[in-house]
Amino acid sequence: AQTVTQSQPEMSVQEAETVTLSCTYDTSESDYYLFWYKQPPSRQMILVIRQEAYKQQNATENRFSVNFQKAAKSFSLKISDSQLGDAAMYFCAYRSSLYGGATNKLIFGTGTLLAVQP
């Protein structure tokens, strides 16, 4: 079974600085999808960025980028120019590319709580 591990329960960053959140996963599949979700204090989960495993190029969304290392099964999130609004719980998630049945679900890590210091 696939697993997702986030080894940093909490992180802190100064405003305008850069921070990297770690995520590793375990799978025997070669094609899959990886996601980073943000959960602010309002509690609604928001998709930050996605990566398709067959793409070698790292995904980027404005100040958010990933470092996808397929062989190492690592998927870290880098937040540049951190802002106060970035303070939230961040979840890494995995989904198989196969269709149907149990493979439709997203598997989440336990999250990293990011604090942004002014």
Partner 1 sequence: SQTIHQWPATLVQPVGSPLSLECTVEGTSNPNLYWYRQAAGRGLQLLFYSVGIGQISSEVPQNLSASRPQDRQFILSSKKLLLSDSGFYLCAWRVIAGRTGELFFGEGSRLTVL
Interface residue list for partner 1 (CB under 8 A): 33, 35, 37, 42-47, 50, 52, 91, 95, 97, 101-102, 104-111
Task: Considering the complex, state which of residue 75 and residue 91 has its C-beta at the smaller distance from partner 1.
Answer: 91
Fill in the amino acid letter for 37: Y
Helix (H, G, I), strand (E, B) or coil at 37: strand
Taking the complex as a whole, the smallest distance from the CB of residue 10 to partner 1 amounts, in Å, to 11
Task: Name the token pair of 70.
Answer: 């397929």
Whether the CB-CB separation of 5 and 23 falls below 8 Å is answered with yes
Taking the complex as a whole, the smallest distance from the CB of residue 17 to partner 1 amounts, in Å, to 26
CA pair distance 65, 109, nearest whole angstrom: 18
Task: Considering the complex, state which of residue 78 and residue 108 has its C-beta at the smaller distance from partner 1.
Answer: 108
CA pair distance 38, 76, nearest whole angstrom: 14
Task: Considering the complex, state which of residue 68 and residue 109 has its C-beta at the smaller distance from partner 1.
Answer: 109
Taking the complex as a whole, the smallest distance from the CB of residue 72 to partner 1 amounts, in Å, to 22
Whether the CB-CB separation of 71 and 24 falls below 8 Å is answered with no
Taking the complex as a whole, the smallest distance from the CB of residue 27 to partner 1 amounts, in Å, to 15
